[in-house]
Amino acid sequence: MRHTLVFLLALTALTSPAGAGDAPAARIPILVELFTSEGCSDCPPADAFLQQLDRQPVPGAEMVVLSEHVDYWNHDGWKDPYSSSFFSGRQAEYAREFSLRSVYTPEMVVDGSSEFVGSNQAVASKAFAKALTVTKVDIRLTSLSIGSDDILRAHVETASLPKSPKADLYAAIALNHAESQVSAGENAGRTISHTAVARSVTRIAALRENQPFTKDIQLKLPPNTNPQNSRLVMFIQESHQGKVLGATMQPFSPQ
């Protein structure tokens, strides 16, 4: 609890506007990706931290969070049910971008621009403060619905991209909440909770400079996806997993 209080006080000092009577500004979206695993004993504190961020504690920010479970910890008798080689590959691409010698967990990546140990709240607060200074490309989601065919339908619009390298629009389907009772491995005997657990990430389109984008999208829900416990996250990212230029989140159903 003490660490949480210190973290929130630090963020307030870093991000609060000087004028107390100023009208509230639009919140700046910040994409926070956590690479984690139920087989890693250092990961539960980072999982808990991501849950805190999902409650929107950062003044002026819209925290768009994703928990991405890697599969290289699936040994010692426990297989993380949310793990995927896709997320291990995504993390490996970040390792190349950040010139890291190896991947590790828990790793937090903020806006594709900075990475650090996912439970390090002091470093996180500085990364969030820096992310708040960056102008983002607006993404708007409307008409979100799910049919009896388990197809998610939505209308997405983005503002024009500024001058930048090539960028892509992505859609991620994630569980709002997940929980496991781990029976083997480093976390044997523990009950671990997760938030915004990514189940799929789909590239929607390549975006062009100085051109807005609009499209009706359709996404097949991953198996065993409960619409009452799911959200759609969309983000714009420079090619080769570069900087995140914009992000948004919308639950499938009202919370």
Residue 11: pLDDT band with limits 50, 70, 90: low
Predicted confidence at residue 254, as pLDDT, reads: 64
pLDDT at position 16 is: 45
pLDDT class of 182 with cuts at 50, 70, 90: very high
What's the pLDDT score for residue 5?
Answer: 39
Question: Rounded to two decimals, what is the model's pTM?
Answer: 0.91
Cβ atoms within 10 Å of 204's Cβ, excluding its own: 17
Stretch 222-246: mean pLDDT, rounded?
Answer: 95
Contacts 24+ apart (CB under 8 A), 53-58: 54/195, 54/196, 57/7, 57/8, 57/11, 58/11, 58/15, 58/30, 58/128, 58/132
Mean pLDDT, range 178-204, rounded to an integer = 97
pLDDT score of 12 more than 50: no
Q: What is the pLDDT of residue 164?
A: 65
pLDDT at residue 162 in the model: 81
Quote the pLDDT of residue 147. Answer: 87
